[in-house]
Amino acid sequence: DAKTTQPPSMDCAEGRAANLPCNHSTISGNEYVYWYRQIHSQGPQYIIHGLKNNETNEMASLIITEDRKSSTLILPHATLRDTAVYYCIVRAAQTGGFKTIFGAGTRLFVKA
């Protein structure tokens, strides 16, 4: 079973920041938080990941709470092309043997 909880859907206005929350209250000390997104009829695309510090890349920012029980993915300036299903996943860091299990994700609709 997925170890994360996300809202099923969210709306965002084009050009505004999209903040997607994720709860992972049972996360273990060696587990990273990963975010992927899936645009319709495509394979999932990696966005960002983190362990305990906030992270930022060219796509998004990841804010992880101090107790690591929740996180927020931030798309700073959402565009129509960001409409997709966003998956928050926790996954162990050690090599080999672990599996990526997808939950239901959040369906983000970016509206003009």
Partner 1 sequence: GAVVSQHPSWVICKSGTSVKIECRSLDFQATTMFWYRQFPKQSLMLMATSNEGSKATYEQGVEKDKFLINHASLTLSTLTVTSAHPEDSSFYICSARGSSGRDYDEQFFGPGTRLTVL
Task: Find the binding residues for partner 1 in span 4-63 (CB under 8 A).
Answer: 32, 36, 38, 41-46, 49
Whole-number Å distance between alpha carbons of 112 and 88: 25
Contact between 93 and partner 1 (CB under 8 A)?
Answer: yes
Window contacting partner 1 (CB under 8 A); options: 12-20, 63-71, 74-82, 102-110: 102-110
- Token reading at 112: 């003009």
Whole-number Å distance between alpha carbons of 109 and 111: 6
**Residues pairing with 12 in the sheet:** 110
Per CB under 8 A, residues contacting partner 1 are 32, 36, 38, 41-46, 49, 85, 87, 93, 95-96, 99-105
